């Protein structure tokens, strides 16, 4: 073999090695990115809840356009939602209509309890409950409601009772949407099944001046 041929062959081999090295480098980055994406999707869908709150229904606890973090595993196993927990759940009306709309409210009534609304005060099984988180004086739809919370369900209300689309209104919406034909039937839409609770919210991280625990006033 001539010296010129040896040099050519050597150059070709070096070029192929260079190309292979570049391909391996690209593949390694693709692998890293793919793992990162899968991990991010897993964390977002299995571990944490990252929610933006578009309305003022939870003010003064969560202000409009705030962003909050929570965990999806808060109620795994034997752990159950407790009164005062702030939870993210599937909105019963939209859920019945095949839509995936998430709401964030506070747990007020537990399974099997009787919840009464009387002149801006909540009574659970005849006992008044303290609500330091309420936003101002509660005057709108604050009287004349009695809820018998079914087993396996929860009653949710917003902290801003004068401006919150919550359990007080959902039965009426169910009638308007044709999901129920009677008031008694519609009342079932006031409650959120445990299996439709996605997780518990803990922390506000935006805006920065509101950063902190959601349970300061619990």
Per-residue pLDDT of 102-136, as tens digits, reads: 999 999 999 999 999 999 999 999 999 999 999 99
pLDDT class of 79 with cuts at 50, 70, 90: very high
This prediction has a pTM of 0.83
Answer whether residue 60 is part of any domain.
Answer: no
Please tell me the total number of residues recorded for the chain in this structure. 218
Cβ proximity of 83 and 107 under 8 Å: yes
Same domain for 82 and 172, yes or no, is yes
Q: Which domain holds residue 47?
A: 1-52
Is the pLDDT confidence value at 101 over 60? yes
Q: Are residues 181 and 120 in the same domain?
A: yes
200 part of the active site: no
CATH number, domain containing residue 123: 2.10.109.10
Same-domain status, 79 and 166:
yes
> Which of 66, 105, 164, 200 is labelled catalytic?
105
- Secondary structure class of 135 (helix, strand, coil): coil
What are the tens digits of pLDDT across the range 167-194?
Answer: 999 999 999 999 999 999 999 999 999 9
pLDDT of residue 218: 61
Whether the Cβ atoms of residue 192 and residue 156 lie closer than 8 Å to each other: yes
Say what the alpha-carbon torsion angle 31, 33, 36, 38 is, to the nearest 10 degrees: -70
Please check whether residue 61 lies inside any domain of the structure: no
Task: Write down the catalytic residue from 2, 5, 57, 128.
Answer: 57
User: Would you call 5 a catalytic residue per the annotation?
Assistant: no
User: Does 45 fall in a domain?
Assistant: yes
Radius of gyration of the chain (CA): 27
Q: How confident is the model at residue 21 (pLDDT cuts 50, 70, 90)?
A: confident
């Amino acid at each position: 073999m001539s010296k010129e041929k040896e040099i050519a062959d050597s150059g070709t081999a070096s070029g192929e090695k260079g190309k292979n090295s570049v391909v391996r480098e690209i593949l390694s980055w693709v692998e890293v990115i793919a793992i990162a994406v899968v991990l991010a999707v897993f964390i977002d869908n299995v571990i944490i809840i990252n929610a933006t709150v578009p309305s003022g229904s939870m003010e003064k606890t969560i202000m409009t356009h705030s962003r909050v973090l929570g965990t999806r595993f808060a109620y795994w196993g034997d752990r159950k939602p407790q009164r005062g927990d702030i939870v993210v759940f599937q909105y019963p009306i939209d859920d019945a209509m095949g839509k995936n709309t998430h709401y964030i409210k506070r747990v007020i009534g537990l399974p099997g309890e009787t919840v009464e609304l009387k002149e801006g005060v909540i009574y659970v099984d005849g006992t008044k409950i303290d609500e330091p988180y309420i936003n101002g004086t509660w005057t709108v739809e604050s009287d004349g409601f009695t809820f018998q919370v079914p087993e396996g369900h929860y009653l949710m209300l917003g902290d801003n009772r004068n401006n919150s689309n919550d359990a007080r209104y959902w039965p009426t919406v169910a009638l308007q949407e044709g999901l129920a034909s009677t008031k008694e039937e519609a009342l079932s839409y006031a409650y959120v099944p445990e299996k439709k609770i996605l997780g518990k919210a803990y922390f506000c991280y935006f805006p920065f001046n509101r950063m902190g625990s959601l349970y300061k006033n619990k």
